[in-house]
Amino acid sequence: MIASQDIVRCKGCHRPLRTAATIATGFGPICARRQHLVAAGYSSGQITDAIELVELGGVIHLRGTGDRRVYLTVGSKGVVHRTAITGQCNCHAGLIGKRCHHGAAVALYATSAASRTVRVAYPMPPATYIAAA
């Protein structure tokens, strides 16, 4: 049995770390991505907005591979923006050369498991087919 003082905890959220890789870095997977965004120069408000945008499904891969990937991101007023994996965005802040939370959301999304899942469309229920006939 491991004593509570022997448990290594994340430097960001203080949750227990279980894998050798996270123990070596001192951060869990989510906090490690946040630290990457902080190191890239995003503010804490932008990181919070980016996390919310990814959690709500507001980031969709549009086209491209590698460094040429482009995503659709939803803005705060419901406007859809095109955001590149490099952080370039066609929102107001992006057009004047500033960092935006859309770029941070794309960086989070591209490194998360959500970007690797395959989405399947649900078929219409039988009642819909009957009503459409």
CA atoms within 13 A on the CB side of 103: 22
CA angle 68, 74, 78 (to 5 degrees): 150
Extents of the domains making up the chain: 1-28, 41-116
Mean pLDDT over the full length of the chain: 82
Please tell me the distance from the alpha carbon of residue 50 to that of residue 53, in angstroms, as a whole number.
5
pLDDT band at 40 (very low <50, low <70, confident <90, very high): confident
Sequence-ordered strand ranges (E) for 39-85? 59-63, 70-74, 80-84
Confidence of residue 1 (pLDDT cuts 50, 70, 90): very low
pLDDT, one tens digit per residue, over 83-129 is 999 989 999 999 999 999 999 999 989 877 555 554 544 555 555 54
Q: Whole-angstrom Cα distance, residue 36 to residue 81?
A: 23
Residue 101, H or E segment? helix 101-111
Lowest mean pLDDT among 47-56, 64-73, 85-94, 124-133: 124-133
Q: pTM value?
A: 0.69
Average pLDDT over residues 39-57: 89
Per-residue pLDDT, averaged over 33-50, amounts to 87
Where is pLDDT greater, at 131 or 23?
A: 23
Cβ-based neighbour number of residue 59 at 10 Å: 23
Span 43-57, mean pLDDT? Answer: 90
